Every structure is written in structure tokens, then in C-alpha cells.
Amino acid sequence: MTKGNAIAVLLLGILVILFPQLTTDNYILTIAIFIGINALVAIGLTILMGYAGQISLGQAGFYGIGAYISAILSLYLGLPVLLSMIIAIAIASITAVVLAIPSLRLKGHYLAVATLGFGEIIHIILHEWGPGGPSGFGDIPPLSIFGYILHSTLEYFYLIWLCIIVIMIFSLNLINSMTGKALRAIHDSEIASLTLGINITKLKIKVFVLSAVYAALAGALYAHYVTFLSPSGFSLFYSVLVLMMVVIGGISNIWGGIAGALIITILPEVLRGFKEFDILVYGMILTLSLLFMRKGIVPLIIETYKRWISK
Amino acid sequence: MTLLLQFLFSGLTTGTVYALVGIGFNIVYNSTSIINLAQGEFVVIGGLMMWFFLEGMQLPFAVSLSLTLLTAAVVGLLMERLTIKPLLKKGDLLLMIMVTIAISILIRGILMFKFGKDPYTYPPFTEGEPINFYGAVITQQTLWVIGITALCIVLLYLFFNKTMTGRAMRACSLDVKAARLMGINVSNIVMLSFIISAIIGAIGGIAITPISLMEYDKGAMLSVKGFCAAIMGGLGRSRGAVAGGFTLGILESLTAGYIHSGFKDAVALLIMLFILFVKPAGIFGKAEIVRLRKF
């Protein structure tokens, strides 16, 4: 981890501790929790897009697998929540491997289309076979860690943001390691990295699985926090939302995932009362940021800051 | 037997739309190597705008038809000039895929704003008794859909093989650099490919709406299915896309009829994954043919 990133993680940690002192409003804390859950998914996709140069349009599928399997295992089979979460994440990562091996072997962007198909299939399965079908099911047990049951919004807030800090530290270290450097090389030039002896396909698969694990973890946390699931939250639209978070936050920097999640999660709250506009607004934001702000917010802020410092 | 015939006909009808979307995919892919994920939105534009001119503004059929096709062409033109053209020279395929997704959401947003979430329909092109074919009922609109699709395919064939512009487009799909050296304006060709694929999509939407209704959010699934049709026939080969579209439509209608209607949409997705994993050159394609990309 670089010095700048270490300071950023520290600042994030302090912010997380202080945030509940600033507000006791449950509504704001709840939004902060959803920002955190979305950020987990977005961080995974940022690494996949920014470092492996691949795009996934099926993150909602892994998010859904994480949520539904963890919920079903703990509710209907009575497994401890933590164990069912781990099983759900394991299943998501196996699915990711199965999906990645054939599609990443091909050159080009087959993963984009394969994941799109995968995500929609998961959505259809949840719709047809999920408990409660299209209307969903409730009474999912809340998170409990070794017998301690979390109930307050504040506890979930701390847990989810602790997860993010841990995952940020892990991801930043990964990016700075040999693996990360190899990944960056892949993104810049596949042929050059091949000649340097980097096993491109294997690395891409690893990163894809990592992104699936983050998404499944987010899904499981969501399921046990909200305690109600229905298939509507796990459609293609969610995958596109995550894509928007990454694009707006900045593909080349994993902090972009958090920034993007912040903006896209707050947006519907701001747009409340403009229900018929929302898709239009999303479309405009995504199109405009691809055309005029391709780097994303976080790299833009860093650049401006550096220019300001050097003056 | 009657039931099977009925399923075959309804599959053929929806299959034509997939075929048209698939052809649209191929035309854009051949000139740019872009997978235009907004392709399905043009079908929705076709259906909804036709309703708007025909029912909303009470214009005559021919006028509505022309205006709808013009609208689709303008949207295709704007999409290419405002978003594809400035970004294409960067050569970043990842970016291009994202742009087409962004445009598809934008179009969907505009349509939802204009038309709301309700499904729309208008009367079939011709009134008349449905035809009885060995017990299966075929509406006149079904014949229109199949006939119009066939006409599109013939016209496209003539365009790509007999006209100078069409041949220039084919030249671009074989080798952009060589085409440019021959004095072909590649930028115009790209623009034209977006306009043509937009019009083809809209024609599909106009023809199918009296049968299957149209709503603002149908585009995403149509894109996926059209893409499935395109890769079934081997990406870039439009005759393959036609075969792929019909096959997909029939398989879907058989699944809905004999297995479970909820899994209808899964068929396309499963076929797509299967092809990507097992035979990326397409079911009807050989690996070598993919490189030749002929219409």
C-alpha cells in the first residue's frame, strides 16, 4: 500500500467511527449502510475493469446468489448465519470460475456478454424458483456473530463499514503486489505482458472471482440486514447501476468504487418525487460521464489536488 | 400436432424480430467491431413511435410509417455522431460497450418519460379473418411480419451486393485500412451502418407491436436475444442471424408451450452461454467463416 492510500484508509476509519456522532438519524445511517453494501460490489467491479480490462454485466447475479443462498440456508436449514454466508460466498466464487474459464479463454469482450446472460438467468431462477417467487420472502434471521445478534442500525453500520475497510486494505495490497502490477500490465498491453511471462487468463479469472466474492458478500450482508428479499433488486438494472458507480467514481482507482456508490445510492433519495425521471437521469449521467469525464471523480480530484500542490 | 404447428408459427413470428435485431448487430459489428447493446431499443422506438403517430396523432398509416422510420434513423444518426464517433478513435472496446449501454438506458429513460410504463398496441395492418392452416390459426399480421422481414432481407442483400455504397460497407468490414486507401469514407460508412441498423430494428418493432404489444423496457431483453441470434449464426454473418433468430424464436415458443412460460427468456440466455463456451463461431458457422464475414 502506498503512503497516500494508507492515510486515506486511516481517514476513512476515523470517519466511520465519528460518523454516528455527527448524526443519530436512523434514516441517514440506513443510507450509509446501503452505500457501504453497494460500495463492496463496486470495489470488486473496479478492480475487474480497471486492472483486468474486463467488464461484467452480471454482478447482480453474484449479489443475488450471495443474498438468496445465505438467506435460504439460515432460514430453512437453520444454519448459523456466519456459516451460511461463507457457503453462499463459496458457491458464488465457484460459479464465477465456471463462468470465467470459457469466456476469458476467448479474446475480446465475451465476458461482458456471458455475464449479462448469467445475471439474467439468475434473475429468472430467483423469479421462478426463489422462495415466494416474484413477491419474495421475509423473516430472514439477522446477522449473528458467534452468538451475538446484531439488531441496531448502528451495529450494522459499523460492521459493514469495517468490512469495507478490511477489503480496501486487502485490495490495495493486492494491487500494489506483483499480481497488481501484472494486472496493470495486462490492461496496458496484453501482448507485452504475455512476452514477460504473465499468465493473463489465470490472472483475469482470479480477479473476476474476487469481484464475485465481494458481490456475494455484499448480497449476504444485505439479506441479513434487510431480512426480506425479492428478485426485483437483482436484475440487470442493478448490474448497470454498479457499472455506473465504477464509471462515475473512476475506473483506474479503487477508491472510485466507494465514491461512485456514494453518489449513485444517494441519487434516488435526492430524486424522490421525480419517479418518472429516474431512468432518464441515470442514462444522462452515465452518457455524459463517459463522454466528458472518462477518468471518473476520484482520479479527477487527485489530479486537481496534485496540480494545486505543485503551484 | 395442431398445437405444435401453432407454437411453430408463434415462434417464427417472434423469431423474425430477433433476426432483424441480429442483422442490426451484424451491420454495426462489421463496420466497427462494436457490440451495440442499444440495438433492441430501436425495436421499442419503432413500436412506440408508430403508436404515437398512428393512434396518438391520428396520422395516416403511410405517413406514420415514414415518420417512425425517420425518427429511428435520426436517433441512430445522433447516437453515432454524438457518442460513437468521438470515442471510436480511442480504440477502447470496453469504453464502446459501456457507451452503448449508456445510450440504451438513455433511450429507455426518454421512452419511459414520454410513454410511461403501460404497454401500447395498435390494430393490425389489415383487418381480416385469420387463416386456418391444418388447425393452426395464423393471423394476417403474422403474415405481414414474416413478409416484411423477408422483404428486408432481400433489400439488404441487394444493397450490400449490388450498390456501390453497400459494397463499400462490405469492404470496410473486411479491412478498414484497405477500404480507406481505396478512397472509401469510413466515417460515413460507420454512420450509415448505425442508421441502417436503427431502421431495421424499428421495422421489426412496427410489425410486431400489433401482435405482442410494446413497452418502454422491452429493449434490454430484445438486445440480448438479438445478440443471441447473431452469435448463433456466427457474429457478422447476417444470413446466420436470420437462421439464428428463427431457431431461437421457435425454441422459445416450444419452451413456453411445453415446459414453462417463465423459462421462455432463459432459453436465449442458455443458448448464448452454450455457444460462447462451446462453439464461439456459431452453431451454423465454421471457425474460418467468421473471418470472412459476408452478408
B243 and chain A: CB distance < 8 Å anywhere? Answer: no
Average pLDDT value for residue range B107-136: 88
Could you give the CA distance from residue B168 to residue B17 in angstroms, rounded to a whole number? 27
Distance from CA of B232 to the nearest CA of A (A): 13
DSSP letter string over B136-201?
Answer: EEE-HHHHHHHHHHHHHHHHHHHHHHHSHHHHHHHHHHH-HHHHHHTT--HHHHHHHHHHHHHHHH
Contact B98 A54 (CB under 8 A): no
Could you give the CA distance from residue B211 to residue B218 in angstroms, rounded to a whole number? 14
Contact A279 B112 (CB under 8 A): yes
Domain ranges of chain A: 3-233
A266 and chain B: CB distance < 8 Å anywhere? Answer: no
Give the nearest chain B residue to A105 (CA atoms). B277
Distance from CA of A292 to the nearest CA of B (A): 10
Domain ranges of chain B: 2-292
Residues of A in Cβ contact (< 8 Å) with B232? none
B102 → closest Cβ in A102, A108, A287? A287
Residues of A in Cβ contact (< 8 Å) with B107? 283
Distance from CA of B126 to the nearest CA of A (A): 35
Measure Cα distances from A16 to A5, A13, A21, A82 in Å: 16, 5, 10, 23
Give the nearest chain B residue to A123 (CA atoms). B266
A280 and chain B: CB distance < 8 Å anywhere? Answer: yes
pTM confidence score: 0.88
Q: How confident is the model at residue B151 (pLDDT cuts 50, 70, 90)?
A: very high
Task: Work out how many CB contacts closer than 8 A connect A with B.
Answer: 118
Give the nearest chain A residue to B280 (CA atoms). A106
Q: Residue A138: which residues within 8 A CB-CB, separation 6 or more?
A: A227, A228, A229
10-residue mean pLDDT profile of chain A (311 residues): values are 84 89 85 95 93 87 96 93 95 93 72 85 90 90 85 90 94 82 73 73 88 96 94 91 91 90 89 77 88 84 85 72
Q: What is the pLDDT of residue A65?
A: 96
Q: Residue A223: which residues within 8 A CB-CB, separation 6 or more?
A: A66, A67, A68, A70, A71, A140, A229
For residue A25, the number of C-alpha atoms closer than 13 Å in the C-beta half-sphere is 6
Q: Residue B287: is its pLDDT beyond 60?
A: no
Contact B277 A102 (CB under 8 A): yes
Q: How confident is the model at residue B33 (pLDDT cuts 50, 70, 90)?
A: confident
**Residue A229, beta-bridge partner list:** A137
Could you give the CA distance from residue B6 to residue B8 in angstroms, rounded to a whole number? 5
Give the nearest chain A residue to B88 (CA atoms). A291
The position carrying cell 507485452 is A192
Closest CA to B17 of B125, B145, B119: B145
Given CATH 3.30.2010, say whether it is the number of domain B2-292. no
CA dihedral (B217, B221, B222, B223) positive or negative: positive
Contact B277 A55 (CB under 8 A): no
Q: Residue B251: is its pLDDT beyond 50?
A: yes
Disruptive mutation site among B41, B218, B276, B279 for chain A (greatest number of A CBs within 10 Å): B276
Task: State the SS3 of A202-271.
Answer: HHHHHHHHHHHHHHHHHHHHHHHHHCCECHHHHCHHHHHHHHHHHHHHCCCCCHHHHHHHHHHHHHHHHC
Contact A109 B93 (CB under 8 A): yes
φ, ψ of residue B223 to 5 degrees: the values are -60, -50
Residues of A in Cβ contact (< 8 Å) with B262? 124, 127-128
Contact A121 B270 (CB under 8 A): yes
C-alpha cell at A299: 482520479
A194 and chain B: CB distance < 8 Å anywhere? Answer: no
Q: What is the dihedral of CA B109, B112, B117, B122, to 10 degrees?
A: -130
A246 and chain B: CB distance < 8 Å anywhere? Answer: no
Q: Residue B41: is its pLDDT beyond 90?
A: yes
Distance from CA of A233 to the nearest CA of B (A): 16
Could you give the CA distance from residue A28 to residue A262 in angstroms, rounded to a whole number? 12
Contact B109 A279 (CB under 8 A): yes
Give the nearest chain B residue to A280 (CA atoms). B109
Distance from CA of B260 to the nearest CA of A (A): 10
Distance from CA of B128 to the nearest CA of A (A): 38
DSSP label at B131? E
Distance from CA of A26 to the nearest CA of B (A): 32
Residues of B in Cβ contact (< 8 Å) with A113? 35, 227, 231, 272, 276
Q: What is the pLDDT of residue A108?
A: 61
The position carrying cell 423459462 is B263
B276 → closest Cβ in A114, A278, A294? A114
A55 and chain B: CB distance < 8 Å anywhere? Answer: yes
A127 and chain B: CB distance < 8 Å anywhere? Answer: yes
Disruptive mutation site among B110, B218, B277 for chain A (greatest number of A CBs within 10 Å): B277
Distance from CA of A274 to the nearest CA of B (A): 10
Could you give the CA distance from residue B24 to residue B74 in angstroms, rounded to a whole number? 16
Q: What is the pLDDT of residue B295?
A: 34
For residue A289, the number of C-alpha atoms closer than 13 Å in the C-beta half-sphere is 26
More confident residue, B229 or A310: B229
DSSP label at B82? I
A190 and chain B: CB distance < 8 Å anywhere? Answer: no
Could you give the CA distance from residue B152 to residue B167 in angstroms, rounded to a whole number? 17
Please identify among residues 220-239 of chain B the ones whose CB lies closer than 8 Å to any CB of chain A: 220-221, 224, 227, 231
Average pLDDT value for residue range B10-38: 89
Q: Residue B288: is its pLDDT beyond 60?
A: no
B60 and chain A: CB distance < 8 Å anywhere? Answer: no
Q: Residue B290: is its pLDDT beyond 50?
A: no
Please give the angle made by the CA atoms of B106, A285 and A246, to the nearest 5 degrees.
Answer: 110
Residues of A in Cβ contact (< 8 Å) with B109? 277-284
